[in-house]
Structure formats: C-alpha cells, structure tokens
Amino acid sequence: MAEAAGGTAGTSREEEAHVSVGSVGEASSNRRNMAAYVGWTDEAARAGDEVRMVVVSDVHGEVAQAHRAVAWVADNGVAPDVVVVLGDLANIKTAEMEQPAAAMAAEGDVAVLLDILANIDAPLVWIPGNHDPPVAHQPGCSSPQLVDGTHSAHLSVVPLARDLLMVGCGGSVPALDGDGAQVWDGYPWTEEQLEAALESVAGPLVGKSTSEKASIVLLTHCGPSRCSTTVYPRAPPASEVLTGSGALERLLRRPEMQAAVTVNMHGHTHPGWGLGHIGMVPVFNPGSLRDGRLGLVRLRRSVRPSGELGEWQVSRAEIVVLPP
C-alpha cells in the first residue's frame, strides 16, 4: 500500500531517462560501494533524468522489518538508484553510549541491519541517529563493519548525480514540549553544536557562482522545527512533543539554502511521516521502518526554455505501508 506523502508532485514526460549511480562490485556481503560514479555526458543529463531513492529510517533493531522492506522492494520492481538510511538502525539509550559492552552490541546491530538492507540492489548511503552508537557518529566512521561497502554521509558530502550532492548530518537535539521543557534527550547535539555542524558541512556549498552551484539533498536524522513532519502528537492534557531543530529550520530558511536545497529528508519523529515544507524546501519523513513504513522519492531535473539544464526537483514522494 502506498500513500501520497502530503501530495505527490507529478511531472509529465514523453520519456523516462534513468540516472544511475555507479558501483564498484561486491564489497562485504551484498553491499555496493559509492566510491565511483558513472561518467556524465550532456546526453546523460538531458531533460527527464531521474534519481530514484528508497528511503528508510528508525529501524530500532527490528531485523524482521528490514527483511520485509527488502522483499517489498524486490517484489514490486522498484529498482532504486540509491538506498538512503536516515538513522536509528540500533536502539541504544543515551545513558548507555559510554558503556563499552552496550556500544559494541549496538555497533553489531547496525552492521547486521546494513547488511540486510544492502540486499536491495543499489548503493547504500546512511547517517546515524540518536539511538546509534558513538562510533557511527564519527565523521567518516572508523568501524570497518559499518563502512565496508556502504557510505556514511555523516558530516560529509556524497556526489549523487551531475550537479546533485547528498549532504549528511546525523544525530538529534533534545525534544521539547510546548512550554519549552525537555521531554527526550538528544544525542550527540545541543542546538548550538548542531548549528555549527550544519554550517561546517553545508555552508561551503552555497553562495558560489552559478556555474559552480549544485542542488543539495540534505540528509538529517532530526528534522527542522515548525514543520509538520517533526510534531509528535500526544493525547491531552499532555502537549505535543516538538522534535525538530531550530538550528536546522534557520539554515533552511536562509535565501541561499532555499535556492540550493532540493529536499531535506529526515527520520526521528515516527508519527510525523509525510511531506512538509520550510519555505519552498520540501521536507520528507518516511516514517519508521519499525512501524512498517518506508519512503519512495524521485528527483527529476528540468530544462529551461532556453535548453539549459534546470534545477533538480522532487517529482514524486510516497509513503509505503508494508503489508503484514
């Protein structure tokens, strides 16, 4: 069952041209490496080019759900160009992060789930969530069992297609109630720390000359504040939980980011699945795979009346509810 994520953006076309992300054969298990990309020609970048993504988040150690996602993708012939995992593969608590045994067990959980999701025949890009172990939050990630044949996009930039970059920043800030009181811990960020991290990875990519600009797919674990995808409802009299980041919202509202960011994809807020907006930037939350949801997103490049290549845009965003 597929649900429209707050409405589907459709684009009429006479021909579909599939944009492929190159791979370098087998690494460990079924994983595909993101170290090489297809060569680009003007013909390959013509109007109608697409990037097709399977987007999952918040697995929280549920191995059976990961297997179901892989089976659904295969059974329905989805054929993505890339699989994007938005964090919380494991389910370690904040208080356990500095306990070596718990952190090691969580690292093993992340590795197992990456191996399962890598059965989807496409390169896999991931970022950590607030329930993933400390090693997953290291820039570049030093754990061979996590990065052999996958690509951690945390605090890094991943070329995805011509003039299209993935920029990643995992983890979360504390969640608050309507009065500003903390409800849940964040890890590993405060708002100030996340603001600095976002600026360090995304800031250098904007404000360049037109010829150097690229569209950005911004991968975060927690989403922006004041967005429908980051509100966690609770029954009255309790107030809803606001899980989004003010620092991320401010970043997305900057004029140069409004122009550069094609979509912000995030997880963290399980019931916030769907499509929202910060200004004109689409914000997509695929929901929690633990709850049986995943996302399908297509990006499409337009062509201006002059014949020049235009911006990358979201042409389709769906929520899939896995069958029982």
* 305 — pLDDT class (breaks 50, 70, 90): confident
Residue of higher predicted confidence among 278 and 144: 278
Instruction: Tell me if 254 is assigned to some domain.
Output: yes
Instruction: Tell me if 42 is assigned to some domain.
Output: no
38-52, 268-282, 306-320 — which one is most confidently predicted on average?
A: 268-282
State the average pLDDT over residues 194-199: 98
Q: What is the CATH number of the domain that holds 249?
A: 3.60.21.10
pLDDT at 159 over 90: yes
Pairing of strands 261-265, 215-220: parallel
Residue 38: the pLDDT is: 33
pLDDT at 33 over 50: no
3-state secondary structure 39-98: CCCCCCCCCCEEEEEEEECCCCCCHHHHHHHHHHHHHCCCCCCEEEECCCCCCCCHHHCC
Pairing of strands 157-161, 151-152: unpaired
State the average pLDDT over residues 235-254: 95
Instruction: Tell me if 25 is assigned to some domain.
Output: yes
Report residue 179: phi and psi, to 5°: -95, 0
Residue of higher predicted confidence among 309 and 172: 172
The position carrying tokens 């593969």 is 89
Do the beta carbons of residue 82 and residue 160 sit within 8 Å? yes
Using DSSP's 3-state secondary structure scheme, residue 29 falls into coil
CA 98 to chain CA centroid, Å, is 26
State the average pLDDT over residues 152-178: 95
Residues whose CB is less than 8 angstroms from the CB of residue 297 and which lie 6 or more positions away in sequence, other chains included: 52, 53, 55, 263, 265, 284, 314, 316, 317, 318
- Where in 99-246 does DSSP place strands (E)? 124-126, 151-152, 157-161, 164-169, 175-176, 182-184, 215-220, 231-232, 241-242
Instruction: Tell me if 41 is assigned to some domain.
Output: no
* 39 — pLDDT class (breaks 50, 70, 90): very low
The number of distinct structural domains making up the chain is: 1
Instruction: Tell me if 262 is assigned to some domain.
Output: yes
* 3 — pLDDT class (breaks 50, 70, 90): low
Cα–Cα distance measured from residue 319 to residue 219, given in angstroms and rounded to the nearest whole number = 17
Per the structure block, which two tokens stand in for 179?
């009065």
Phi-psi region of 68 (alpha: psi -120 to 50; beta: other; left: phi over 0): alpha
pLDDT at 4 over 70: no
Cα–Cα distance measured from residue 28 to residue 147, given in angstroms and rounded to the nearest whole number = 10
Q: Round the average pLDDT of the chain to a whole number and report it.
A: 86
The parent domain of residue 68 ranges over: 2-11+19-36+48-321
What is the widest separation between alpha-carbon atoms in the chain?
60
* 13 — pLDDT class (breaks 50, 70, 90): very low
Residue 66: the pLDDT is: 98
pLDDT at 287 over 80: yes
Least confident span in 5-19, 26-40, 85-99? 5-19
* 311 — pLDDT class (breaks 50, 70, 90): confident
CA 324 to chain CA centroid, Å, is 25
pLDDT tens-digit series, residues 53-67:
999 999 999 999 999
pLDDT tens-digit series, residues 88-106:
999 999 999 999 999 999 9
Residue 143: the pLDDT is: 76
How far apart are the two ends of the chain, measured CA to CA in Å?
A: 11
Do the beta carbons of residue 73 and residue 81 sit within 8 Å? no
Residue of higher predicted confidence among 197 and 237: 197
Do the beta carbons of residue 302 and residue 310 sit within 8 Å? yes
pLDDT at 26 over 60: no
**How many Cα atoms occupy the beta-carbon half-sphere of 31 within 13 Å?**
23
pLDDT at 169 over 90: yes
